[in-house]
Structure formats: structure tokens, C-alpha cells
């Protein structure tokens, strides 16, 4: 049998909002930080600019904090950067996700690994 590994999608929701923040928005923010623009980040993730901006807008409205700052372009185009709050969310979610990955791997080792031969 081929070797198995744990894999999952993770997001945070509330009673009145599904998918407030999760892997997709986390990856989007990380790409914005790396590439310096929402357009470049959305292209690298193979999602439309409109979807990326819409997702960010909804999250910012729900959390009531700005995650990104946009500067309209000139000759070289616009820029998008993370706010301090956006950087904190990326850092916290990265640590949170890492803890969940470790817990999932531990549960796999405990319950599933012995079944895979």
C-alpha cells in the first residue's frame, strides 16, 4: 500500500458567517505580502482579482479591521500591502495551522498508521 499522509482544509466561522478566515485567505495574504499586489497574488493562486478582492472585503468587514492597504497605480501600477493587523493575522494563523497539523499527525500516528501496511 502506498504511504498515506494527513491533509485537511481549515477555516474559522461563526454562527452568522461561514469561512470568515481560513487557508484560502491566509494564502492570499501571504502572496500579497510576497508579491506586493493583489493582482499578482490572485494570479499566482489562479483566482480572479474580483474573487480575491471580494473575499478580502468580506473578511475585513466581518473582523472590522483592515488587513490590506491599497495604493492606486501610476506608471508602474498599484500596490497592495498588509497592514500591521494583516501581518498579525498571517502570523497567528500560521502558528495556529502548524499546531493543528501537528495534532492531526499525532492522531494519525495513534489511530491510523498501524492499519497501513
* Cβ(87)–Cβ(33) below 8 Å: yes
In a domain, 56, yes or no: yes
Distance CA 47, CA 84 (A): 25
In a domain, 10, yes or no: no
Q: What is the pLDDT of residue 71?
A: 86
In a domain, 4, yes or no: no
The number of distinct structural domains making up the chain is: 1
In a domain, 5, yes or no: no
Reported pTM: 0.89
Mean pLDDT of successive 10-residue stretches along the chain, which has 117 residues: 85 94 98 96 97 96 96 76 98 98 95 86
Task: Give the residue carrying C-alpha cell 461563526.
Answer: 14
Domain holding 54: CATH number?
1.10.10.10
Distance CA 45, CA 32 (A): 11
In a domain, 6, yes or no: no
In a domain, 8, yes or no: no
Dihedral (C-alpha) 33, 35, 36, 40: value to the nearest 10 degrees?
-120
Q: What is the pLDDT of residue 74?
A: 62
Cell triple for 71? 495604493
In a domain, 75, yes or no: yes
Q: What is the pLDDT of residue 4?
A: 86
Q: What is the pLDDT of residue 76?
A: 66
Q: What is the pLDDT of residue 116?
A: 85
DSSP code of 36?
S
Q: What is the pLDDT of residue 2?
A: 73
Q: Give the pLDDT confidence of 47-75 residue by residue, as tens digits.
A: 999 999 999 999 999 999 999 998 877 66
For residue 83, what are the domain limits? 17-115
Amino acid at each position: 500500500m502506498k504511504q498515506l499522509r494527513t491533509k485537511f482544509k481549515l477555516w474559522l466561522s461563526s454562527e452568522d458567517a461561514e469561512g470568515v478566515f481560513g487557508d484560502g485567505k491566509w494564502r492570499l495574504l501571504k502572496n500579497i505580502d510576497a508579491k506586493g499586489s493583489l493582482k499578482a497574488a490572485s494570479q499566482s493562486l489562479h483566482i480572479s482579482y474580483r474573487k480575491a478582492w471580494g473575499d478580502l472585503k468580506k473578511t475585513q468587514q466581518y473582523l472590522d479591521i483592515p488587513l490590506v492597504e491599497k495604493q492606486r497605480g501610476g506608471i508602474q501600477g498599484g500596490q497592495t500591502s498588509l497592514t500591521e493587523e494583516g501581518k498579525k493575522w498571517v502570523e497567528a494563523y500560521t502558528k495556529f495551522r502548524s499546531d493543528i497539523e501537528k495534532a492531526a499527525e499525532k492522531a494519525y500516528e495513534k489511530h491510523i498508521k498501524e492499519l497501513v501496511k
